[in-house]
Every structure is written in C-alpha cells, then in structure tokens.
A and B are shown apart, each in its own frame.
Chain A
Amino acid sequence: MKITRGQFIKGGLAASATGLFSLGSLRSRLNAAEPPTYPGKMIGASHQLGHLLRQSNLSRASDELRARVVVVGGGIAGLGAARRLMRAGIEDILVLDLEEEPGGNARSGVNETSAYPWGAHYVPLLTEEARAVRRLFEDLGIITGKDARGLPIYDEYMLGFEPKERLFRFGRWQEGLVPAIGTTPEDEAQYRRFFSLMNELKTQCGSDGRRLFAIPVDESSTDPHWRALDMLSMEQWMGREGFTSDLLRWYVNYACRDDYGTVFSETSAWAGIHYFASRNGQAANAESDDVVTWPQGNGWLVARMAEPLGPRLRTRCLAMRVAVADGGVIVDVWDANESVARMIRAEAAILATPRFISARLLPNAIERMDPSSFSYAPWAVANITLDAMPEGKGAPLSWDNVAFDSPTLGYVVATSQELGMKPLSTVLTAYWPLSHKTPSEARQDALGRSLDEWQRIFADDLLNIHPELSGHIRSIDVCVWGHAMIRPVPGFIWGEARQRAREPLGRLAFAHSDLGGISLFEEAYTHGVRAAEHVLTQLSVNYDSEL
C-alpha cells in the first residue's frame, strides 16, 4: 500500500475505523445540552386563507369584474396558461393566486446572502417531446440557439455547475449519489445491470413509435406491456427483476422520495422507471444528465413568466367557487388585499389548481371531479442561512448534498451557481418529503409543529453531518407544504381518473402538474398550454399549437 504524505501524518485511511471516539457524535451531544433557537420565519401555503374554502357561508359579492379569461392558480400551470393566452392575443385576462407571491411550489425567497428556492429548483435538459417548454426556454434565453446538428445550445451560466452531487456515508463524502464505498461485487453487478437497462429504455420506442418513458408523460408509448408496469410498485418490480442489492434499493427509494415525495414501495413502477429512463434531453454543450438551475431554483422562471402579466396577476385572491353559466364562467373571489368578495364574469376559465381544490371550487361536479383518486405528498423545506461554508472530508461541497442515514433528502446550496471562487456565506435548502407515514398523518403532524421544533429538527440533521457549522447558523426559515406534489401511486398514471381529469367542462379547462401524474415543471407548463389552447378553440381564436 502506498501512503501519501498527508495520510502518513494524519493516518486518514481509516480515521473512523478506530470507532472509539467520534468527534461528530461527541460534539452533537455537547450541543444537545443547550438547544439553540434561531431567527427565522414560517412560510407556507396559506392554510388559513385556503381553509376559507371549506366554509360555505360566502359573503355576498360587493362588486363585479369582467375578463375574457380567468386563470385560477398562479403556479407554473397557471402562468403557462396565461402566457399562452397572451401570445395568442388574449390580453384581457386575470390570474388569481391566494399566496402573496405567485409560483406555487416553484416559489422562491431572497435575503441578503442569496436567493433560494422554496420548492422546485431545476429543470433537466429538455426532451424532444417537451415542445411547448422548449419554446419557452428559447424565449427566455435559456436556449440560445442550435448547433450544426440542430442540438440546442443552452446558456452556460444556467447549466448546473460542477460539482453537482455528493453523498455522505461512513463519515465522509463521496462524489455522486450512488453509494460507491463498501459495495460488494454483487452490488456493483446490479448497479451495472440496472443502469444499462435504464439507458436502453431511454432511447427505446414502443410499437407506436413513441418513446417508452417520455416527458411529458402523455407523450409516452401506449404499449400495454409497458403501461402494465403502472400496476406494480417500484419495490415489487425490483424484486421481480432480481434487484436485491440494499444499496441499489436505497438509491432507487431515494430517487422516488426525491421526485415524487413517496417511498418506492408506494410508487408506481412505471413512475419509478420513468425517473431514470425519461431524461434523455440532448444539448450541443451539455450532457443529457445535466440540468438548468438558478440560485432561486425555478423561481427564476416564475419571475420571468409573471413579469409580462403585470396587473393581470392578482395575488392574495382566493377563488371561492366557480360556476359554468350560459356562454361563460362565473368565479367568486375573496380578495384578501381589501377584504372584499368579488364576482368575476368571464367567457372562459382555467382551473390551474390541484384536483382537491378544483373539486371544492366546483361543488356541483364533485363526483365527476373524483378528488379522492388524487393523493398528494406533504413536504417540509427549510432554508438555512449560514455565515460559513459547509465542509467535510472527501468530495467537495456540491450543488446537491445527501446524507445516507438522514430521513431528509439533504440540502441544495443556493450559491453553487455563483461565478465567484469562494463564497463566504450561503443559504442551504434542506428538503424533507414526509413519506414515513401516510400523507394525511404526516400532514397532520407537520402542520402541528412549531417553527422552533422544525428549526431544531433541521438544525440537528445538518449539524449531525456538519459539526463545524455549529455557531454559524444565522437563521432557519421553514415552509410546510401540506400538498406539495401529486403521488404517482400504482395504478394512477395510466388509470382512468387521471385520463378523465383533463377533460374540460365546456369553457372551463383544467391545468396542473397532477394531471400528468408526476410533479415536473414540464408537466405543469404543458398542461397549462394545453388548457389555454382549449380555451382559444372555445373562443374561436386562431392559433398554431405549441404542443
């Protein structure tokens, strides 16, 4: 064995092999003696305002507004729909959102240290099928042109910088998220088999000539053989295929929690495979596993999509009820800015809201809305502002940093897209899908916790991996998402409920990522465009489809 100079003195080869004293555990025990409280605030989908929806005693509308089209919901689907309408020349629109800021789960925040995401924080390189999103990316300058082969050229400042991912296990960081230390030959053989299968599936097409696993989901092949995978759980499928390696299963379970907020035993195998087999976007200047990202995550996209709307976007406005009337739609609204109820008459409307909200807005169509078929994962997200950079043995600080033994998904570093060599302070966004219990139980637990409790949970989780950050936490803000994302449970993606849900009710169209069955930017945006184009057809406006 060759020994380097550093190892010679410090004996770093197996510092933890001694096992006698672990600096980390010793320190965290010392910290527990004096639990710190941090400055910070609780952010959240406006539960109180939102729960007004459950009350039926609507106050009478004090005034009446008119618009050609009303879009309820200012998340990506709603903003995408509004954008599509504006591009077709329909400018007399209103977009309503109950929060103070638009964006839904792509919202973001900013403080004196950095901008940071509150939820969705990247978009993978676009697949060929994501045509509507591609047009958006070209308009926003994310895609700047094409090379000689016709491959899109991405703005290199927006492509995710290296180093991208690292995993904390056995007291040190490794590059990448697939566990690489302490693997057996069997683990490695299964890794190879799994990833080569996924790579094959990436380019494989069904008998209808469509890719097996496409983004958007509805562009995927209709071959029943593959769609049947939707009836299995990802865990069952792995068992069936002989993927028994604990480390591989950890990684796949991690992936399902990361993208769907759902453990792999409750995730559809079709969706589980989709995570690995759908992202084959090509670029002139990036690899297909690259992503575009910004310090504020997809909040960057939200700001650019919201900006052209100007006063057409009304925040803190809660739609209370929607009714389809002759030749139009009526939306009752509670405007929290002025504490008045309003009635909006429109020629058409788009409900860019999750299904359980849409169902409450349409009390007369509750059966047709079938909200019970749609299940949502609760998440907790913390933004932790630091006046020092996280370090650690092994691989250097990356964009995405995951700890093997943590119930959270680890943290993303907001300053990793900075050009500067060495930021001295940063904001970490720690993500925690509450997938350890049923969604409703976890949601109850989560909404009952105080800011202080959340802060302690997130701080302990961080300091456990990074004892050196003790004393460097400046603030912890927390957001609890009761319904963060749709859960692709077995049978949902290719089941009837989802297929039916996208069908419009006359001049009322639906748009949300839950209609795609998985919570992706591309799904939300494409469903927004699709709903908008339905409305354009209803209003007899000529357009070239962007889909």
Chain B
Amino acid sequence: MAPLLLVSVFVIATCGLIYELIAGTLASYLLGDSVTQFSTIIGCYLFAMGIGSWLSRYVNKNLLGVFVEVEILIGLIGGSSAALLFVLFEHIYSFHFLLYFVVTVIGVLVGLEIPLLLRILESRFEFKDLVSKVFSLDYVGALFASVLFPLVLIPYLGLVRTSFSFGMGNVLVAFWMLLMMRERIPGYRWHLGTAAIVLALLSAGFVYSERIMSFAEASTYPGKVILSESTPYQRIVITEQSGDVRLFLNANLQFSSVDEYRYHEALVHPALSAHPSPRNVLIIGGGDGLALREVLKYPSVAKVTMVDLDPEMTRLFSTNALLTALNGQSLLSKKLTIINKDAFTWLKEQRDNAGGGIYDIILIDVPDPSNFSIGKLYTVTFYKLLRSVTDEDSIVVVQSTSPLVARKSFWCVTNTLKAAGFETAAYHAFVPSFGEWGFTIATNKPYASPKSYPSGLKYLNVETADDMFHFAPDMAWVETKIQRLDDQALIHYFDEEWSKYLIY
C-alpha cells in the first residue's frame, strides 16, 4: 500500500514535468522566441505550483478523495492541453491569456499533489524517510520525463498524443488509488465514474488525434487565419499578419501581398512586352487574379481565358473585398472568360474538337510540381498540347519553382519544354517570401527580350530584366530526365530537393 503510493509519486512527477515541457515547446513553436517562452512558461508553472502547495493547507478532510479528484482533473486538463491549445490557437483573441491560464491551472493542481501525498503518507513513515523518499522519487521522475520527452515522445508520438497519453497516466493513478483503497474513500463510485469518463475522453483524443489536428491550422500557418475553406480539390487558407495577406493552397504558400508584385511582374511582363501585339491570352491556374492584373496593363489584350480547376478560388478572388483589393478586381474584367475545368482535359478537348485556336500568350501559374496529379501539367505531353495552340509569335511562360533550392527540378522544366519542340529562355527573380524563384519562357522562335516595359512597374525594367536571364554557377543548367506521364522524373527531383530544404 505504501509502496504503491510511492510509485504514484514517480508517475505524477513524470506527468507533471511533461506538461511543463509540452507547454514550453508548444509556446515556442506557436509564438516563436523560445528563450522567452520557455522562461516565462517555467516561471509561471513553478509559481502556480507554489500556489497549489499553499492552497493544500485548506484541505482538511477526505485527503484521499481530494487527491484522486486532483489526479483526474490534471489528467483531463493536462492531457488535453496540447490539442486544446493547437485547435484554439487561431480562433481566439488572446492566445497568450489562454496559454498562461491553462499553464496556471495545471501548475496549481500539480502543486497540490505532493503536499497532499506527504500528508496521506505521514502516518506510515518517519518524517525524515518520507521526505527523502518522496522528493527523491519526484526528482527521478523529472529526469525520466526530461530524457524521454525529446528522444522518444516527440519523435514517435508527437506533442498531441504525448499529452493525451500522460493525461491517461494521471487518471490511471486515480484508478489505482480508488481500487486499492475503496473503503477509505467516500463517494468511491462517483470518483470511479468520473475517472472512467475522463479516461475514455483521453483515449478517444489519442485515437483521433490526427483528426483533431486537421482542425488545427495553427500547426501549419504563421499569422492569423482569416479564411479557410476545403474544396473538393484543395484546402484554401488565407492568413493576415501586420497587413501581410498570404494565400496557402494545401499548406503551401502561393503569395505574400508584401512581395507578390515581384513574382507576378516577373511572370507576366517578359512575355507580354516581348510580343508584338498580344491579343489572345490563356492563363492556366492563376485563379488569384494577380497575374491577370498585370496582363490587363496591356491595352492590346482583347481576350483572356483563365482555366482554373477550382471554382471556389475564382469565386473568392472575385468577391472577397480584401482579395479584390489585391488583384484590382481583375477577375471582374469583361475581357475575361473563366473556365473551371481541369486544364489538361480542357485543352485536349479544345484541340481535338474545335482546333483549339491560337493563343498569343500562355501563362502557366500552377502550384509547384509536388505531387503526381499536378505533375501532369509539367509533362512533355502537356507541353506538346500547348504547342499545338501556339504560332510563330506565341510566348509561353511557366512558373518553374526555385532554381537555387531545386536546381534539377527547375532545369527539368526547361529540358522538357525543349523535348516538346519549344525554344526556351530561363530566368529568375528574387521574391523574399519564396526566395530565388525561376520561370521558363517557351517560344517557337528565339526569344528576344523587350526594349521597354509598361510604366509604373515596381520591380521590372530593362536593366533588372537583363540580370534575370543570367544564372550564377550554383543554379546553372544541368542535364535532367524529361518529365513524362509514365515517368514523372520532375516529381522525384522536386521531392528530393525540397525535402532537404524543409527539414530543420
């Protein structure tokens, strides 16, 4: 019986430290500045433990019952703390308040544990033995937790499941007490019932932790999530932080309003300004309307066809005031026809059935080739199809990921365009939120850079444009395989190159 209580000391000590570590890790992860977060979380937690210890003097009867109830409460609150904080992160006004509130509550409860236990055990041991046993076990538990946490728990369970499983630890201690000392605990059945309910909740949380986390955008996005929507095709998330509006598709950054002009000017103008008279423009992807905003700066453009798979994208960017302010209401232009279909299928139908027509300019502004589905729009088969709707003067531009981070991927786009019969001209621009970013022009005759650009551009002029076509040795041309439908070499290059970059 007494050894049992001592084992409980070890368990609750381990759990207690784990909650502290979870809170500190989570705070530095979500809020940044880990030194400050860890210091203030530990300080707050220890102070709250002090409050708990002080409060223990007001517990005068039914020590065992109160102890059991404290364990169940720690299990519930501590166990669900990680999931709770993640899920609520972007939904509440003051995350700091919530965070420190949760930390304080857990701290107070943990602070109650040891004094209560000491008093439960006081009649069974001599005082000097009791203090030495309880505190040494407390510190051993702390060591155990602090080694286990970074080496095993985080890599194998993750924060959320770690938190749920240690919550279960506390509840199991309560169970154990209840079963061993049922005759000495008034209201034994009631305690047993609550313990069972909490244990069931924590188990469910553990099992469904991935589901729970899918509600928690916080794990993926910096800034405040102001809009998030799941469409059948993708997850659209828009965040805002200090005036910087960002669009994420499936958690990948598409633009930041602070520097998107660099990307979109670089995507659009080297092609449109080089064409003698661009009239008929095709945009594949680009449902945010930002490339279109640049295209509409050319008065010669009479007709723009935009093929974007997801109707929700084009609807959002033509109706939401924050977003139409960014794209200058370009999606409402009378020159524009929006086609919400799959680009490959649509283009093939156009060519097979109606001859497809000829486009002066084709802009391909689709997400990076990060999976086999989007990879189809980078294949030689697709480029051949594009070539069938171009003429001598047509200019195609493809956003082609970063030549610095993903050098093989970038040049794979060039090499594939060449294999489809195009002449190519590769260039790059620095976009701070993306890094060094690459584009590829494809033409049927050698590309000649424009003598002038529209006035009022923020980034591009003849001089910057000249620089863009030079590649430093660390991102110069390399030989690659060709991206084909039956062998998507580009996806493998991209995966390999970016995975090295994303691990930190």
- Residues on A lying within 8 angstroms of B by beta carbon are 1-5, 7-14, 17-18, 20-21, 23, 26, 156-157, 159-163, 285-287, 290, 396, 418-422, 424
Contact = CB atoms under 8 A, between A and B. Distances in A.
Given A4-B502, A10-B209, A23-B207, A419 B342 contact: yes
Contacts of A290: 486-487
Given A4-B503, A21-B203, A420-B344, A286 B154 contact: no
Given A10-B210, A11-B161, A421 B342 contact: yes
A14 B156 CA distance: 5
Contact of A156 (B160, B208, B485): B485
Contacts of A157: 381, 485
B372 interface: yes
Nearest to B204: A21
A11 B232 contact: no
Given A287-B487, A424-B232, A18 B157 contact: yes
Contacts of B159: 8-9, 11
B324 interface: no
A156 B485 CA distance: 7
A333 B207 CA distance: 63
Given A11-B162, A157-B381, 17 more contacts: A3-B154, A4-B503, A7-B155, A11-B154, A11-B161, A23-B207, A156-B381, A156-B486, A159-B486, A162-B486, A162-B487, A286-B484, A286-B486, A396-B372, A421-B373, A422-B342, A422-B373
B213 interface: yes
Nearest to B375: A162
Contacts of A21: 203, 206-207
A26 B204 CA distance: 11
Contact of B156 (A13, A161, A420): A13
B296 interface: no
A4 to B, nearest CB: 5
Nearest to B207: A21
Nearest to B483: A162
B86 interface: yes
A290 B486 CA distance: 8
29 contacts: A8-B29, A8-B159, A9-B158, A9-B213, A11-B155, A11-B157, A11-B160, A11-B161, A13-B155, A18-B156, A18-B161, A21-B203, A23-B207, A26-B207, A156-B381, A159-B486, A161-B376, A162-B488, A163-B372, A286-B487, A290-B487, A396-B371, A419-B342, A420-B342, A421-B233, A421-B344, A421-B374, A421-B377, A422-B309
Contacts of B29: 8
A419 B156 contact: no
Nearest to A416: B372
Interface in B170-226: 203, 206-210, 213, 219-220
Interface in B345-367: 345, 348
A452 B117 CA distance: 61
A273 to B, nearest CB: 26
Contact of A419 (B213, B376, B488): B376
A9 to B, nearest CB: 5
Contact of A1 (B155, B373, B380): B155
A160 B203 contact: no
A323 B491 CA distance: 60
Contacts of B380: 156
Contact of B372 (A8, A10, A162, A287): A162
| Pairs A-B, 10 closest by C-beta atoms | A11-B158, A420-B342, A159-B486, A419-B344, A11-B157, A421-B373, A162-B488, A14-B156, A21-B207, A10-B158
B381 A421 contact: no
A14 B152 CA distance: 10
The CB with the most chain B CB atoms within 10 A, among A3, A11, A18, is that of: A11
A4 B498 CA distance: 12
Interface string B399-434: 000000000000000000000000000000000000
A17 B381 CA distance: 43
Contacts of A14: 155-156
Contacts of B156: 11, 13-14, 17-18
B473 to A, nearest CB: 28
B158 A12 contact: yes
B158 A160 contact: no
B348 A160 contact: no
A8 B485 contact: no
B207 A9 contact: no
A20 B232 CA distance: 33
Given A17-B156, A420-B345, A9 B86 contact: yes
A21 B219 CA distance: 24
Contact of B155 (A3, A162, A287): A3
B373 A419 contact: no
Of B156, B159, B377, chain A has the most CB atoms within 10 Å of the CB of: B156
A157 B209 CA distance: 41
Nearest to A162: B488
A7 B206 CA distance: 16
Contacts of A2: 503-504
Nearest to A11: B158
Nearest to A421: B373
A2 B203 CA distance: 28
A287 B491 CA distance: 17
Given A9-B213, A11-B162, A21-B206, A419 B484 contact: no
Contacts of B486: 156, 159-162, 286-287, 290
Interface string B122-166: 000000000000000000000000000000011111111110000
Nearest to B159: A9
Nearest to B489: A162
Interface string B7-35: 00000000000000000000001000000
Nearest to B153: A11
B341 to A, nearest CB: 8
A23 B220 CA distance: 24
Most chain A Cβ neighbours within 10 Å, of B29, B161, B309, B485? B485
A351 B485 CA distance: 40
Contacts of B375: 162
A437 B357 CA distance: 60
A1 B348 CA distance: 47
Most B Cβ at <10 Å: residue of A3, A7, A157, A161: A161
Interface in B475-496: 484-488, 491
Contacts of B161: 11, 18
A10 B381 CA distance: 38
A1 B156 CA distance: 11
B183 to A, nearest CB: 32
Contact of B309 (A12, A159, A162, A421): A421
Interface in B375-394: 375-377, 380-381
B481 to A, nearest CB: 11
Contacts of B155: 1, 3, 7, 11, 13-14
B485 A162 contact: yes
Given A21-B207, A419-B344, A10 B488 contact: no
Contacts of A9: 86, 158-160, 213, 219
